[in-house]
A and B are shown apart, each in its own frame.
Chain A
Amino acid sequence: MSTFPDRAGLQPERTALAWQRTALTSLVIQVGGVVLALRLGQSVVAILGAIIAGVTSVTVAGVRQRFVELRDDERGYSPHRHMVDVAVATGGAALVGGILAVTVASR
């Protein structure tokens, strides 16, 4: 039985799972970037990637807050902050990838 009787189609559950998928994907990509940087001997980039991965882990934990919000039918909510967090994490991963691309291309 749904815990969200006022919302048909399991909408909050689907949305919560979409957040979880997105946040976890973001974290996995960060790890890939750090591993590649280490393999290439780019320790500075690896440290940068590790810092971004750490921030992304906080974002993944922060998604829990979104779960709580989605369970509250009475209170207004905004996904904007979480969305910006994930976008920043994505930009960080792209930055690491971009630096590594330039590094490899200039060898």
Chain B
Amino acid sequence: MADGSEEQPEVRKPESVYGVGDEPDPRFSLANERTALAWMRTALALVAGGVAIVSVSALQGLPHWSALVGGAACLGGALLAVRAVTSWARVERALRLREPLPSPRALASLAGGVVVFAAVAVLLAVLELLSGGSS
């Protein structure tokens, strides 16, 4: 402008993140963004796995419970997608405030969920095998 004043910067949302602290190194912000996207793809992989299990269950005449295992994977994927967004916001806020980064709690949840998921799948498969063998 003629008077030398700078343009009004755009208001970035969410304000709970961008309304605090100072601008961090762009590399850190971009790394945080890519990490969130990696979580999002993990969530998508869970949903894809769930849909695949449901497909196999429906089209190959597998026991009905196997479809519920797929449904649980879909639900886990949806929850993880929400978590990816909230984790991104928490980390970005910490970066702006020059605070220690929050611990990746979703990682422990995901690992625990996968172990439980695998254990349930194995248990149900063994039960199905035993019931099939006895008939």
Contacts and interface: CB of A to CB of B under 8 A. Distances in A.
Q: Chain B interface mostly helix, strand, loop or mixed?
A: helix
B40 interface: yes
Contacts of A84: 85
Given A90-B44, A94-B47, A97-B54, A19 B37 contact: yes
B51 A97 contact: yes
Nearest to A20: B37
Interface string B2-28: 000000011011100110000100110
Interface in B43-86: 43-45, 47-48, 50-52, 54-55, 57-59, 64-65, 67-68, 70-71, 73-75, 77-78, 81-82, 84-85
A98 B50 CA distance: 8
Interface residues of A, number: 46
B40 A22 contact: yes
A97 B64 contact: no
Interface of A: 7-9, 11-12, 14-15, 18-19, 21-22, 25-26, 29, 32-33, 36, 39-40, 70, 75-81, 83-84, 86-87, 90-91, 93-98, 100-102, 104-107
25 contacts: A7-B30, A15-B34, A18-B33, A22-B44, A25-B41, A25-B45, A32-B55, A76-B10, A76-B12, A78-B13, A79-B36, A80-B17, A80-B88, A80-B89, A81-B13, A83-B84, A87-B40, A87-B43, A87-B85, A93-B47, A100-B51, A101-B71, A104-B58, A105-B64, A105-B65
